[in-house]
């Protein structure tokens, strides 16, 4: 029995903000952003919410899979920017799509959130607890950015991606997984939650926006990700050469280039969406996968390696046969 992705979907907000648009409201330029990151534009929410984009991505994934809402047993959303503390985004999605038979919950593993959610679903499906899962990565990062901090706010975007995953007999599906965390280095990429304002403490005026040490994050990514990918490929009984595509978290083109170099493989095996999406944390892997699927890039028996990495610090990789 394998957990196999049988459908994908995604949803980006209607409003596109280019690097030139940003240069009109802050001291930055297309040249600075695109040369250092590969990002040209991103989508930012106006009317959309994390849950509304998630529900739309979910419907598109279910259409793509040919699965009805009643067939979904499990919904997991990887997110660090749900609309509410409670109810979870997953419960909101359940209500919006009418998946009345599903159990639904969110998990937070930052940019690795979709990958962690996929692995949790994999375990449930392997054990026979559930048969059909809807796995999402969804973010409204624009609400947790400090729009006065040009070194972070230009990097991120909003959006949601989804995959329908089903337990099936056969060779296709998830072959191997690797996950890791390093809480000791968590402060290099952090965003405080709301401050405690109970009567026993003074209300803190600390920033509640994303704070990042870009160079430390870069060093983390270019060492942890190739190592995790190599481990997962080996666990799957494959070699790097046998992988057709590497669908990685879309943080920065330089990270992708460095991972390709360290794995001694071709850069053109690393499809990108960051040029038009920016970094959408947990949503970036499923959005990329959906774009690849809709372009017809994913053919039966292809071997695809996925990897997410980011805040926590956290990272997770998977190898699947499509
Ligand atoms: N526009 C113009 N200038 C800027 C901007 C901007 N948007 N942001 C910063 N600068 C300036 C800084 O003020 C600084 O100026 P100074 O030299 O006069 O002091 C200069 O550019 C260099 O700033 P650094 O922060 O040192 O820039 P760096 O070259 O490290 O590039 C970057 C920053 C692109 C974030 C890089 O560190 C990086 O690639 N990090 C990887 C981390 C990453 O991609 N994180 C994404 C989110 S985390 C994740 O998803 C895993």
What is the arithmetic mean of pLDDT over 93-106? Answer: 98
Q: Do domains 2-170 and 174-321 have the same CATH topology?
A: yes
Residue nearest to atom 11 of ligand 1 (CA): 151
Whether residue 43 has pLDDT greater than 90: yes
Closest to 161 measured CA to CA, from 46, 320, 294: 294
Whether residue 246 has pLDDT greater than 90: yes
Residue 207's pLDDT band (cuts 50, 70, 90): low
Q: What is the 214 CA–ligand 1 centroid distance (Å)? A: 6
Atom of ligand 1 nearest to the CA of 36: 34
Residue 17's pLDDT band (cuts 50, 70, 90): very high
Q: Give the pLDDT of residue 28.
A: 97
HSE at residue 163, side-chain half, CA atoms within 13 A, is: 30
Q: Give the pLDDT of residue 296.
A: 97
Atom of ligand 1 nearest to the CA of 28: 1
User: Using CA of residue 128, residue 129, residue 133, residue 137, what is the dihedral sign?
Assistant: negative
Report whether the peptide linkage leading into residue 87 is cis, meaning its omega lies within 30 degrees of zero.
yes
Q: What is the 154 CA–ligand 1 centroid distance (Å)? A: 9
- Determine if ligand 1 sits within 6 Å of the CB of residue 163: no
Q: Kindly indicate whether the domain formed by 174-321 is annotated with CATH number 3.40.47.10.
A: yes
C-alpha 106/C-alpha 303 separation (Å) is 28
Residue 206's pLDDT band (cuts 50, 70, 90): low
Beta strands in the chain (DSSP E): 2-11, 15-18, 41-44, 74-78, 103-107, 132-140, 158-168, 173-181, 189-191, 210-212, 245-248, 303-310, 314-321
Atom of ligand 1 nearest to the CA of 22: 7
Q: Give the pLDDT of residue 235.
A: 98
Residue 192's pLDDT band (cuts 50, 70, 90): confident
Of 7-11, 148-152, 287-291, 303-307, least confident by mean pLDDT is: 148-152
Residue nearest to atom 15 of ligand 1 (CA): 151
What is the arithmetic mean of pLDDT over 80-105? Answer: 97
Whether residue 2 has pLDDT greater than 70: yes
Cα Rg of the chain (Å, integer):
19
Residue 198's pLDDT band (cuts 50, 70, 90): confident
Residue 165 contacts residue 4 (beta carbons within 8 Å):
yes
Looking at 3.40.47.10, 2.40.50.200, 3.40.50.11600, 3.40.50.10860, the CATH number of the domain 2-170 comes to: 3.40.47.10
Please state the domain extents for the chain. Answer: 2-170, 174-321
- Determine if ligand 1 sits within 6 Å of the CB of residue 111: yes
State pTM to two decimals.
0.95
Q: What is the 215 CA–ligand 1 centroid distance (Å)? A: 8
């Amino acid at each position: 029995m394998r957990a196999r992705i049988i459908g994908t979907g995604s949803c980006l907000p209607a409003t596109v903000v280019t690097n030139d648009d940003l240069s009109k409201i802050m001291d930055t330029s297309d040249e600075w952003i695109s040369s250092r990151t590969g990002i040209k534009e991103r989508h930012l929410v106006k009317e959309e919410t994390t849950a509304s984009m998630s529900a739309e991505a979910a419907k598109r994934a279910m259409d793509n899979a040919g699965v009805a809402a009643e067939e979904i047993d499990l919904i997991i959303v990887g997110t660090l920017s749900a609309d509410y503390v409670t109810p979870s985004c997953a419960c909101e999605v359940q209500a919006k799509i009418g998946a009345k038979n599903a159990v639904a919950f969110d998990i937070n593993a930052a940019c690795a959130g979709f990958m962690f959610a996929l692995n949790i679903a994999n375990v449930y499906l392997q054990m026979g607890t559930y048969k059909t899962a809807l796995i999402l990565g969804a973010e409204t990062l624009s609400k947790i950015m400090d729009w006065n901090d040009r070194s972070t706010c230009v990097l991120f975007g909003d959006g949601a991606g989804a995959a329908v995953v089903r337990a099936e007999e056969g060779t296709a599906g998830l072959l191997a997984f690797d996950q890791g965390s390093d809480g000791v280095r968590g402060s290099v990429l952090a965003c405080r939650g709301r401050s405690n304002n109970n009567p026993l403490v003074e209300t803190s005026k600390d920033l509640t926006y994303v704070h990042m040490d870009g160079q430390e994050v870069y060093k983390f990514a270019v060492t942890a990700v190739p190592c995790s990918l190599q481990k997962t490929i080996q666990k799957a009984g494959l070699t790097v050469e046998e992988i057709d595509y590497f669908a990685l978290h879309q943080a920065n083109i330089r990270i992708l280039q460095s991972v390709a170099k360290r794995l001694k493989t071709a850069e053109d095996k690393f499809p990108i969406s960051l040029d038009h999406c920016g970094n959408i944390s947990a949503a970036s892997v499923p959005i990329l996968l959906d774009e690849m699927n809709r372009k017809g890039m994913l053919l039966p028996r292809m071997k695809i390696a996925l990897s997410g990495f980011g805040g926590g610090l956290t990272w997770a990789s998977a190898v699947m046969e499509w």
